[in-house]
Structure 1
Amino acid sequence: MGTINGFRGGVRGLSRAVGISAVIVLVAAGCGSKGAENTADTSGDTLKFGASLSLSGKTAREGQLTKEGYDLCVDQVTKQGGIQVGDRKLKLEIDYQDDTSNPDTAGQIVDRFNDSGVKLLLGPYGTAPTGASMPVVERNSQVMVDSAGADDTLFTHGYRRTFAVLSPASKYAAAIVQAIDELANPKPKSVVFLSADDGFSKTVASGGEDAARKLGWQVLTRQEFPNGTTDVSSALTAIKGQQPDLIIGSVHLAEGIAIIQQSAELGITPASGFGETVAPPTPDFVKTLGDKAENVLSSSQWSSAIGGSDPIFGSAKDYVTAFRAKFGADRTPQYHNAEASAACLAMVLAVQKAGSAAPDKVRDALAALDTQSFFGAIKFNEVGENVVKPMSVIQIQGGKVVPVWPKDQAEGTLAWPARR
């Protein structure tokens, strides 16, 4: 076979026995991949995606934001009359199953989807559940669009049926470092990274440390703590005497809140300020910390200032309008919402381009996808990563998320030093 957008050999080495009869569930067929009838689909006009999500457990908040993004996609597709699949227009439905933030459970859910004939999947929240799902997707000849599994190492195993719309983990903290280098005066001379001990967070920290070293900053010894902890005092105590100019947390929500709270309690006030991944754009960050959140920097997969548009959501500004219409005028979409909607968008566009819901055809259409969207550019490299989309950098200013970098997306200027 030839090269499909860098995927040499297309699906070489993978079973192609699935074919048309093993489509997601074109409801009129009513047959699953193992011959089991999918009794949920009887109307003959519905296309079903499956999604394993952390609707409970330690990342339930992020999982709920992901679900909102998927739900908004369903709404927008419905407003357009459904998905055009060949000569038919089908309703879109998403079957959600709670993986309880447990990677093993996520993999089991993917298998159960396959047993019921659901072959097209939207990714779970987080690197570990995504990593547990990917080999199952491959084995079952399913197809998955990843919305929140960012660790670069996920894409080093030769899988060819998972595609990630988000920028890889190695760019998260590196973007914060790059933004500070371009915008800040005076620049920090020293930085320390505090990291949760999961694979994603450690990859993020390593990417940030590499970027800082290249700029000539002094990078102090990284301090790690358990993923999901609410007590980071030992890590903070270890760096207090070193007085770093800048503290960057490679974290999720719980650890990110703990860093800011406990730094204040311990009297740790870095000369330049704080940066963190993931946590600051999440609404609970400001709600919990109040004024303590002020001026904290963060990277973001998306901002409302991103250029590009698509036929489902329109522009980034249109996305904000649609989100508020569904979830409330007082809500502002966060990148967790947007990356989920973008994953659903990619799957919808691939199905329409393929003219079929047959998983092999959808996989090939995803591999060849090259489009602009409300989320920015979507184009996958040979292993399924979207490396053409840059990260954005935001800062909490006046209790709001304000894009400050890159300059063509900035809606405010960097407050510096970023001390509270």
Structure 2
Amino acid sequence: MAVSSLALTACGSKGEDTSGGAGDSGTLTIGASLSLTGKLAREGQLTKEGYQLCQDKVNGQGGVDVGGKKLKLDIQYQDDTSKPDTAAQLVDQFNDKGVKLILSSYGSANTEAQAAVVERNGQVMVDSAGADNKIFSKGYKRTFAVLSPATEYASSIVKAIAELAQPVPKTVVFLSADDGFSKTVTEGGMKTAQEKGFTVLSPQYFPNGASDVSSSLTKVKGQKPDVIIGSVHLVEGIAIVKQSKELGVIPAGFGETVAPPTPDFAKTLGPAAENVLGSSQWTTATKGEDKYFGTAQKYAEDINAKFGHDPDYHDAEASAACLALVMAAEKAGDTSPDKIRDALAGLDTQSFFGQIKFDSTGQNIYKPMAVIQVQNGKAVTVWPTDSAEAKLIWPGTKP
């Protein structure tokens, strides 16, 4: 691994902070442990794309301006195989090489494992894809998440249905993977659904990464829920819609976290994906602008040009995490991890991703989520209405 200015000046092999400053090498190295293989490989690859585009954009403008000196951004990647223990070990390895700035892996389990190591080592991590609120309940001071908290994922879908669906459905059931993130999503969604006056049926849980959820669907079939909301990732989300059709479980509408905004969702399911709702950290209608990426629409064009597909929010949240780290280094005017940490804590800026600002726990509670619906094979924003690209289609099948 190339040794950056940060590596030369920031720490010893045990994470001891020995000095700060921009150094003399002209490079700012960031470590990124990613899920490039394993069950989260697809989302991990999208996360890597977001990091790569950020590096291109920053270096295309000469690099990171740290105290008047331009440092080339160099993101170093390692594959954590979608395993939390490996993700944590790789952060330690980066620290041993003197890399004190970290971009998170994909998913809450991996990010939670990394956050503990980052705290111990005196590193600093910007989290692009670990949304579970529980990560930020442990008093960590060195991890900052650009994305909205997990409790907002299903809650936003419930709010959109309550506001826009006609006729308003009465019953909702949550089908959830059993990982920590998905459980937190379900808790938040059920709470909001009860507050909105829905009858909330008993949730059904299945193993994280399951491609067969037929048992859970069979249990709710007789209850004939008006709405099924999946607290899921891509594999489970595809399984819910596909197997619902096969088993004759036909609610008025489907909503799912994570999966529907991902291009592979509609591509895999074809017509069965039509009108499924999904929550999204970002859409091309997101308001805001910054000097590196411009607007959300310009960001979408750049992802398409570089990677040959429409972006989804996994790309965008990764780029936003990288952007936050770059902006903090520029604000600090120094590569010292402590100074960058302090700059992150005080960051309050608009970007192509919306507002980037952190509360005292390190969460970005200031950026709302959007709700998309798959219409004619594409994910379009339907809520909030002030940024909607199309009207909600309800019930879940076209008339």
Q: TM-score, normalised by structure 2?
A: 0.95
Question: Does the 8 Å CA contact 2:8/2:98 hold for their aligned counterparts?
Answer: no
Q: Distance in 2 between matches of 1:326 and 1:292?
A: 29
Local SS of the residue matching 1:303: coil
Change over 3 Å in CA distance of 1:28–1:259 after alignment to 2: closer
> Any conservation in 2 of the 1:25–1:32 contact (CA below 8 Å)?
no
Query: Within 2, Cα distance between the matches of 1:28 and 1:116?
Result: 7
Partner of 1:84: 65
Q: Distance in 2 between matches of 1:164 and 1:351?
A: 16
Residues 122-161 of structure 1: pairs in structure 2 closer than 5 A:
122-161=103-142
**1:141 deviation in Å?**
0.3
The question of whether the paired residues in 2 share the 8 Å contact of 1:274 and 1:297 is answered with yes
1:18-64 CA-to-partner distances (Å, cap 9, x unmatched) read xxxxxx9316947753289xxxxx99221110001000000000000
1:302-325 Cα shifts (integer Å, max 9, x gaps)? 011111111111111111122122
Q: Which position in structure 1 is the counterpart of 2:19?
A: none
Contact 1:25 1:31 in 2 (8 A): no
Residue 250 of structure 1, aligned match among 201, 221, 231: 231
Alpha-carbon distance in structure 2 between the residues aligned to 1:336 and 1:31: 30
Letter in 1 for 2:132: D
- For 2:164 and 2:194, the matched residues in 1 are separated by 18
Correspondence for 1:299: 279
Contact 1:83 1:89 in 2 (8 A): yes
Q: Which amino acid aligns with 1:149?
A: G
One-letter code aligned to 2:275: N
Query: 2:342 maps to which residue?
Result: 364
1:376 and 2:357 correspond: no
Q: Secondary structure at the match of 2:5?
A: coil
Write the deviation string for residues 196-245 of structure 1: whole angstroms up to 9, x where unpaired. Answer: 00000011011111111011110000000000010100000000000000
| 1:194 alignment counterpart | 175
Which secondary structure state, in structure 2, belongs to the residue aligned with residue 50 of structure 1? strand
Does the CA-based 8 Å contact 2:10-2:337 persist in structure 1?
no
1:131-183 deviations in Å (ceiling 9; x for gaps): 00001000000000000000001100000000000000000000000011111
Pick aligned residue for 2:50 from 69, 72, 78? 69
- Structure 1 residue runs of 4 or more that deviate by more than 6 Å after TM superposition: none
Residue in 2 that maps onto 1:394: 372
1:157-176 equivalences in 2 (<5 Å): 157-176=138-157
Note if contact 2:6-2:100 (Cα within 8 Å) is conserved in structure 1.
no
Instruction: Give, in angstroms, the shift of residue 260 of structure 1.
Output: 0.6
Q: Where does residue 230 of structure 1 map in the other structure?
A: 211
**Structure 1 residue ranges without an equivalent (≥5):** 1-23, 37-41
Partner SS state of residue 389, structure 2: coil
Q: Determine whether 1:185 maps to 2:166.
A: yes
- The answer to whether the Cα contact below 8 Å between 1:28 and 1:45 also exists between their aligned partners in 2 is no
1:248-296: CA deviation from partner (whole Å, max 9, x where unpaired): 00000110000011101101111x2110000111111111100000000
Distance 1:31 1:211, change over 3 A: closer
Asked if the contact 2:63–2:72 (Cα under 8 Å) also holds between the matched residues in 1, the reply is yes
The 5 A counterparts of 1:261-410 are: 261-270=242-251, 272-328=252-308, 331-410=309-388
Q: Which residue of 1 aligns with 2:198?
A: 217
Secondary structure of 2:260's aligned partner: coil
Question: Is 1:418 aligned to residue 396 of structure 2?
Answer: yes
Cα–Cα, structure 1 residues 224 and 302, in superposed 2: closer, same or farther, change >3 Å?
Answer: same
Matched residue SS, 1:310: coil
Percent identity, please. 64
Which residue identity lines up with residue 353 of structure 1 in the other structure? K
Give per-residue Cα distances to partners, 1:106-129, cap 9 Å, x unaligned. 000000000000000001100000
| One-letter amino acid of the counterpart of residue 325, structure 1 | A
Give TM-score scaled by structure 1 length. 0.90
Distance 2:349 2:298 in 1: 17
SS of match in other structure, 1:278: coil
Provide the residue aligned with 2:32 in structure 1: 51
Task: Write the distance in 2 (CA, Å) between the matches of 1:35 and 1:151.
Answer: 29
Unaligned 5+ segments in structure 2 are: 16-22
CA distance in 2, matches of 1:198, 1:160: 24
After superposition, the C-alpha distances for 1:76-98 in whole angstroms (9 at most, x for unaligned) are 00110111111310110100000
Q: CA RMSD in A?
A: 1.5
Give, in whole Å, the separation in 1 of the partners of 2:314 and 2:78: 18
Q: C-alpha distance in 1, partners of 2:169/2:356? A: 34
